[in-house]
């Protein structure tokens, strides 16, 4: 990503437009504060359905239920365990530390 001042943008606007059309990211700053990003109006290419067809295979194991410990981790139980451990090792609001 390239950042330029307003003065540079006034002087080199056509060059910056060409750069954006080529895929470069251009930001214009007022002083040291970025305020504008030049973007192309051209839409990104449409996604093609099935572009990864045949690239990998799913086995029947993919559709089997998760083990309880892994399911609990996905449901946030792991974070809750960490939070409870943190409370017991760092102390409470009065500053009394527990072991």
> Which DSSP symbol is given to 39?
-
Tens digit of each residue's pLDDT (9 = 90 or more) over 12-54: 999 999 999 888 999 999 999 999 999 988 877 788 888 888 8
Task: Convert the pLDDT of each residue in 43-84 to its tens digit.
Answer: 777 888 888 888 988 899 999 999 998 888 888 876 666 666
**C-alpha closest to that of 40 among 58, 16, 56, 67:** 16
Handedness of CA 18, 23, 29, 35 (dihedral sign): positive
């Amino acid at each position: 990503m390239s950042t330029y001042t307003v003065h540079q943008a006034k002087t080199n606007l056509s060059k910056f437009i060409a750069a954006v059309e080529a895929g470069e990211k251009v930001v214009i700053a007022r002083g040291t504060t970025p305020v504008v990003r030049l973007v192309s109006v051209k839409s990104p290419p449409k996604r093609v359905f099935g572009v990864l067809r045949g690239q990998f295979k799913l086995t029947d194991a993919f559709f089997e239920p998760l083990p309880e410990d892994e399911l609990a981790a996905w449901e946030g139980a792991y974070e809750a365990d960490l939070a409870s451990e943190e409370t017991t090792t760092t102390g409470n609001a009065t500053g009394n530390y527990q072991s």
